[in-house]
Each structure stands twice: as structure tokens, then as C-alpha cells.
């Protein structure tokens, strides 16, 4: 499973994601044709806003930007957060393993999505141009 966001914004505008709600859509292999007239649609009349439709994604947190000074733009206009990298760990890689690696690189985990094993890593010193 993977979760992704695609967005665009004007140069100089700080991108932000807010008011995100995670939910699940179930797709049955039998096409859900049980004669109920609700073929494969597990959503209720309120478009899935029922708490029973939500799944536990585990821990989920991130470090937000404090100022625009944390942003860097390359020559193509792509925007990056200074001294940060996003890491997706493979199946079976534990939080503690990633934490040990990150600590050995003079960095810390400042964001984490348990469900997808994604990490927001911030280096504690300037890393301009360092490729990992």
C-alpha cells in the first residue's frame, strides 16, 4: 500500500497539507453483487464519514515549516526543505533500526507514518548538496 499526494503551487508560496482524513475503500473480489443494490460500495450515505470506515494507521506525525527560510529552490524551480529528507523503509525494517541509522548520521526523526514506514529525517547540521 502506498499513499501519495500530488500538488502544485506558485514559487515562493509555502506548500501545506491540512485537514486530511484517512479512510479505506474495500473492493471485494466477487464484485460485491449480493443483490443488495450496493455493488461493492462499502460507503454509507454520508460518503464514508462514518468512524467505522476508518482504519488505524498507527503513529503519524510531522514537523511543519517554521519559516520560509527553511525552503530552498533549485535552478528548475523545485522546492526542497533544507536539511531534510524523506525515507521509506522496506518491509520488516523496524523504527529502532531507522532511528539508529539516523542517529549515526547526526540527524533525527521529526516525522513518521507507521502504516507506510515513512520517515521525515532532519539533519542537525547543514547538508547543502549532500546526497545520501
Provide the whole-model pTM.
Answer: 0.55
Residue 17 domain flag: no
Residue 30 domain flag: no
Inform me whether the pLDDT recorded for 50 exceeds 70. no
Q: How far apart are CA 115 and CA 42, in angstroms?
A: 22
pLDDT for the residue numbered 123: 92
**Higher-scoring residue by pLDDT: 131, 71:** 71
Cα dihedral sign, 103-113-117-4? negative
Name the percent of the chain lying above pLDDT 70.
Answer: 58
Residue 47 domain flag: no
Residue 66 domain flag: yes
Distance from the Cα of residue 118 to its chain's centroid: 7
Residue 33 domain flag: no
State whether residue 96 is helix, strand or coil. helix
Q: Put residue 92 in one of left, alpha, beta given phi > 0 → left and psi -120 to 50 → alpha.
A: left
Domain count across the chain: 1
Residue 1 domain flag: no
pLDDT band at 25 (very low <50, low <70, confident <90, very high): low
98 lies in which domain range?
A: 58-123
Residue 19 domain flag: no
What residues are paired with 121 via a beta bridge? 85, 109
Amino acid at each position: 500500500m502506498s499513499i501519495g499526494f500530488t500538488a502544485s503551487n506558485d514559487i515562493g508560496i509555502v506548500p501545506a497539507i491540512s485537514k486530511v482524513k484517512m479512510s479505506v475503500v474495500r473492493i471485494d473480489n466477487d464484485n460485491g453483487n449480493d443483490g443488495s443494490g450496493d455493488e461493492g460500495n462499502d460507503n454509507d450515505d454520508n460518503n464514508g464519514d462514518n468512524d467505522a470506515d476508518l482504519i488505524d494507521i498507527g503513529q503519524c506525525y510531522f514537523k511543519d515549516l517554521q519559516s520560509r527560510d527553511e525552503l530552498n529552490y533549485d535552478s528548475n524551480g523545485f522546492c526542497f526543505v533544507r536539511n531534510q529528507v524523506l525515507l521509506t523503509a522496506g518491509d520488516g525494517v523496524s523504527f529502532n533500526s531507522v532511528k539508529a541509522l539516523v542517529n549515526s548520521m547526526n540527524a533525527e526523526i521529526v516525522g513518521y507514518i507507521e502504516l507506510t514506514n515513512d520517515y521525515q529525517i532532519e539533519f542537525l547540521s547543514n547538508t547543502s548538496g549532500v546526497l545520501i
